[in-house]
Amino acid sequence: MLAKRKRSLSELSQATGITISNLSRLKNGHSRGIRFSSLHKICDALDCAPCDILELVTTEQYVKLLGRPPLGDEEEDEE
């Protein structure tokens, strides 16, 4: 959506008040979640709806895309 709107992370950060670091983590799938208020700010700045920037994928698809399991899905050590 950033490319479609011809916006950079820096511009989005200025428009939303969300740090470039946090936006980068969201963009690259390294975040555990997003606050509804942050999602609202991003959608307002990009003039889009949540469904335009969020995608539901299976764990298998996630691993194929990012090369690791989703955060929180790592196997826990059994005692």
In a domain, 77, yes or no: no
Confidence class of residue 79 from pLDDT cuts 50, 70 and 90?
Answer: very low
Nearest 5°: CA angle at 66, between 4 and 14?
40
- Rg of the chain taking only CA atoms, in angstroms: 14
Residue 67, Cα to own-chain centre: how many angstroms? Answer: 16
In a domain, 60, yes or no: yes
Are the C-beta atoms of 2 and 8 separated by less than 8 Å?
Answer: yes
Structure tokens at 64: 């194929």
Quote the pLDDT of residue 77: 47
> How many domains does one find in the chain?
1
For residue 49, the enclosing domain spans 9-66
Number of Cβ atoms within 10 Å of the Cβ of 16: 19
In a domain, 31, yes or no: yes
* pLDDT tens digits, one per residue of 18-75: 999 999 999 887 887 899 999 999 999 999 999 999 888 899 998 988 888 887 766 6
Confidence class of residue 11 from pLDDT cuts 50, 70 and 90?
Answer: very high
What is the rounded CA–CA span in Å between residue 79 and residue 21? 36
In a domain, 54, yes or no: yes
In a domain, 58, yes or no: yes
* CATH at residue 23: 1.10.260
